[in-house]
Structure formats: C-alpha cells, structure tokens
Amino acid sequence: MSLSEPGLDREEADRALNRLAAESDRIAEALVAMDGHPGHQLLRTATLTGVSKERWVATSTAMSTLWEQFEAYRTLLDRARAVRDRRSRPGPAELDELTELLTRPVVELNQEQVPIERRSLTGPALSVDRITVSELVTRMKATFTTVTAVLAEADGAVSGALRRIDPLEAELSAVTALAGSVGHDPAALHRIRDRITEARHLVAADPLGLPDRGPGDPLSGAETDLAGIREAIAGLVAVRDSFDQRVAALSAALGEIEAAVAQARAADAEVQAKIANSGLAPVGDPAPALRTRVTGLAELRRAADWPRLAGELGRLDRDAAAALAEAKDQLAARVGLFDRRAELRGRLDAYRAKAAKQGRAEELPLAALHGAAQDLLYIAPCDLAAATRAVNRYQQAVQEGPR
C-alpha cells in the first residue's frame, strides 16, 4: 500500500466486510434465480438454430463467467474474513491487508496466454486483468442484466407464440371435427395444421429469431385462413340445420312467382285484345323448372352432400328472386301500356277543355284533329304510337291558338 493512500480503519473494514457479505447473499440468490429462469431452461435444453443459437452461445458463456466471478468474489471475501478473524482488534498489518483486499485491484480476471511474438524476453507469459472487488460487482451487474434480458426475451417469445398456437390448434381440432360432419374438404385444414406444426418447431428451435407478426411469421395467414374456413363450415352447418325452413321459403317464393306470372298472363291477354303492336315478348314461366330443382334438393340432403346443397340453395334463392322480379316486370310492362293509354286519354280531354275555353272546340280543323285522336284511343286494339302522334298534333294545334 502506498504511504500517500490512507488505509481502512477497523470500523471501515468491518462495514466493508458486512456490506460484501450481504451483497454476496443477494448475488447468490440472483444467480440461483437466473439458473432457474424459464428462459434458461428453454435455451439450455433446446436444439437451437439461427439467431437463438448465436445468442445462446454468448449468453451461456456469460452465465458461466458470472459464476466464475462470483467464486472469485466469495474467495476474496473468505480471505478478508480470515484476516479479520485473526484478532478481535486488528492491528496495522491486518488493516493493511484488509485495505489491500477490499479496495485494491486484487481480483484476477481474464487470464490469457500471451503469444510468443508479443512477449519481451523477460515479460510475463500470462496476461491478467486485475480489478477491485467493487469493479467486479459492477461488471457482474452489467453482465447479469444482459443475460436476464436474453432469458426473459426467450421466455416471452415462446409464451407469446404459444398463446397464439395453443388456441389456434384447439380451434383447428374443433373445426376439423365439424368439417367432417358436413363433408367439407379437409385439405385446407391439413395445410393449416402443417403450418402450426412448423411454427411449434420454429418456436422451440429459434425463439429469439421469431418475427412479431410481421414478414416471416410462421403463423402468417393461418388464423385468417382458419377463420374463413370456420365461417364456411358454419354456413354448411346452418344449411344442414335449416334445410326444411329454406325449402319452405323457396316453396313460398315459387307460389309468389306463379301468382305474378298468372297476373302477367292475364294482363297480357287483355293487352293482346286492346293494344295493337305492344312489342312485348310472351310471358315466360320459370316456376316449373325452379320447382324441379327444389324437388332435387331432397336427394342432396339424403346424400349429406352439404357443400353442393349449400351451393344449390344459394343459386335457387338468387334465381327465384330474379324470376319473381322478372314476372313483376312483365306485369308492370303490360299495366304500363294501359296507364299510357289512360294518360293519353286524360291529356286529350284536358286540351279539349282548353280549346272549349278558348271558344275553339268546334273549329273544324281542331274538331277533326280531336276526332282522329279520340278514334285511335277508344277503339280496340289501340295503336298507342299512332294515338300518341295524334294527341300531340291536337295538343300543338290548341297551344298555337287561332290562325
């Protein structure tokens, strides 16, 4: 010890020893907890690959180093205790030795062989890093923080992945069982199972290299795909369980179609008798073909071919709705012709009243135009195109006033 550097007195030495002893217990407890950390068990027992293998090599080396440094710490503490126990009141020699152990760079770390080309003739063959016990604790704390961060990251990565994988696997099993009951193609479910198995392997082999739901996520798309399949299967189950109600609804829709077709045909017969050159195509009747298809649903049900049955039910729903709309359009087109004739008759009467108000209703030219339009509108069959032209001529003549 240098004469310019005062040493520890007895009280300072005792306080330092007590502090080191308490710190030793805390360090031991922390290192034991480190060894028992779930992340340590995961990394130590797994056959690691990729990023996890690289980081575990460095982390396991750091853990071994921590235990070695702790052993050096305990050795120094034992030596200091032995010096302190020599006397109840340590003398200058003991205090000097305690000062040396507790405050000087006496802890030897990182002992390395010096290569021959880097030695001098009288230089040491070994290179040794000497630090104080306080510096040793500082280094151990930094290493401990780094190590436990890696262990926690590994544990968190595995736990997070399993929180996704386990429910997904359970749901896949449930959906697979349900798929078998409705004849759903299992190929897509097999592919999802393969991806889950691959994800489990990756979680076990490289937990520190797992992406966080980004590119490369082993479960990427699996959850979405399974949700889509589950929805499709739920649709098949609904078809199976609601078959009677669906068929009843289709039968009711066919009744509406038949009624609308009957109305359209009755209106068509009247059109043919009263309207000339209607330009309308004959009224079609899709109901018989649709009824045949509805009857065929029973065979698909007996075969438990739920995917085909679901598809045919969906098509029948759409086709029945289109057929009903078409029948109503056909009826509306025929009713529209009579509405057009009524509108022309009303317009002719309105302009006849206007001409009478002007005192011109009996003028021969106007009366002739009116008589021509009236004849066209009140004879059967009525030529609506010709009647429209005649009404327009009369309307124009009334609007132009007397010449």
How large is the average pLDDT for residues 101-119?
67
| Vertex 188: Cα angle to 185 and 190 (nearest 5) | 100
Position 113 pLDDT exceeds 60: no
Alpha-carbon distance 44 to 38, whole Å?
A: 10
Provide the pLDDT for residue 334.
92
Position 251 pLDDT exceeds 90: yes
Provide the pLDDT for residue 341.
93
Poorest-confidence range of 45-54, 211-220, 239-248?
Answer: 211-220
* Dihedral class, residue 92 (left if φ above 0, else alpha if ψ from -120 to 50, else beta): alpha
Provide the pLDDT for residue 3.
45
DSSP one-letter code for 122 = T
Residue predicted with more confidence, 402 or 208: 208
Position 252 pLDDT exceeds 70: yes
| Backbone dihedral angles phi then psi of residue 352, each to the nearest 5 degrees | -65, -40
Alpha-carbon distance 125 to 191, whole Å?
A: 62
333-346: pLDDT as tens digits: 999 999 999 999 99
For residue 1, name the pLDDT band (cuts at 50, 70, 90): very low
The token pair at 228 is: 């889509």
Supply the pTM of this predicted model: 0.60
> Between β-strands 275-276 and 382-383, what pairing exists: parallel, antiparallel or unpaired?
parallel
For residue 363, name the pLDDT band (cuts at 50, 70, 90): confident
Provide the pLDDT for residue 120.
54
Alpha-carbon distance 209 to 201, whole Å?
A: 12
291-316: pLDDT as tens digits: 999 999 999 888 888 888 989 999 99
Provide the pLDDT for residue 224.
87
13-54: pLDDT as tens digits: 889 999 999 999 999 999 999 999 999 999 999 999 999 999
How large is the average pLDDT for residues 185-210?
89
Looking at every residue in the chain, the average pLDDT score rounds to 88
3-class DSSP string for 182-223: CCCCCHHHHHHHHHHHHHHHHHHHCHHHCCCCCCCCCCCCHH
Alpha-carbon distance 128 to 123, whole Å?
A: 13
Provide the pLDDT for residue 110.
64
Residue predicted with more confidence, 251 or 115: 251
Position 123 pLDDT exceeds 70: no
Query: Which residues in 26-179 belong to E strands, given as ranges?
Result: 107-113, 126-131
Q: Which residues contact 304 (CB under 8 A, 6 or more apart)?
A: 182, 183
Provide the pLDDT for residue 292.
94
Listed ranges 14-23, 128-137, 355-364; the one with the highest mean pLDDT: 14-23
The token pair at 139 is: 């280094």
Alpha-carbon distances, residue 158 vs 49, 146, 180 (angstroms): 15, 19, 32
